[in-house]
Amino acid sequence: MEDQEILAKFRDPAARNVAFNQLVRKYQSKVYWHVRKMVVDHDDADDLTQDVFIKVWNHLENFRQDASLFTWIYRIATNECLSFLGSKRRKFFLPLNDVGAELTAKIEADESLAGDEVEFKLQKAILRLPDKQRLVFNLRYYDEMPYEQMAEVTGTSVGALKASYHHAAKKIEQYINSITD
Amino acid sequence: MNKPFRLDEHRRRPQPPLAPPPDRYFEQLPTRLMQRVQTSAPSPAAWGWLSALSAPVRTALASGVVLGGFAASFLLSPPATIQPVATASLAQVSREEMVQYLLASDQRVTLTDLAELPGAAQSVPAGTLQASPDELQDLLDTQPTEETYL
Give pLDDT, residue B108: 66
pTM, to two decimals: 0.64
- Domain assignment present for residue B42? The answer is no
All residues of chain B having their beta carbon less than 8 Å from the beta carbon of residue A173 are 4-7
Domain A1-93: assigned CATH number: 1.10.1740.10
- Domain assignment present for residue B74? The answer is no
Closest chain B C-alpha to A57 CA, distance in angstroms: 7
Domain ranges of chain A: 1-93, 94-181
Closest chain B CA to residue A54: B37
All residues of chain A having their beta carbon less than 8 Å from the beta carbon of residue B10 are 118, 122
Give pLDDT, residue A69: 94
Identify residue B2 by its one-letter amino acid code: N
- Domain assignment present for residue B109? The answer is yes
Q: CB-CB: which of A112, A123, A173 is closest to B7?
A: A173
Give the structural domain span for B144. 94-116+133-150
Mutation test of the interface with chain A: which of B12, B25, B33, choosing the one with the most A Cβ atoms within 10 A?
B33
All residues of chain B having their beta carbon less than 8 Å from the beta carbon of residue A119 are 13, 17
- Domain assignment present for residue B105? The answer is yes
pLDDT tens string, chain B, 150 residues long: the values are 568 888 888 888 877 778 889 999 999 999 999 999 887 665 555 566 676 677 788 888 888 888 988 888 888 887 666 565 666 677 788 888 887 887 776 666 666 666 655 555 555 555 566 778 788 888 888 777 665 554
What total of structural domains would you count in chain B? Answer: 1
**Any A CB within 8 A of B95 CB:** no
Burial of A77 (0-12, 13-18, 19+ CB in 10 A): buried
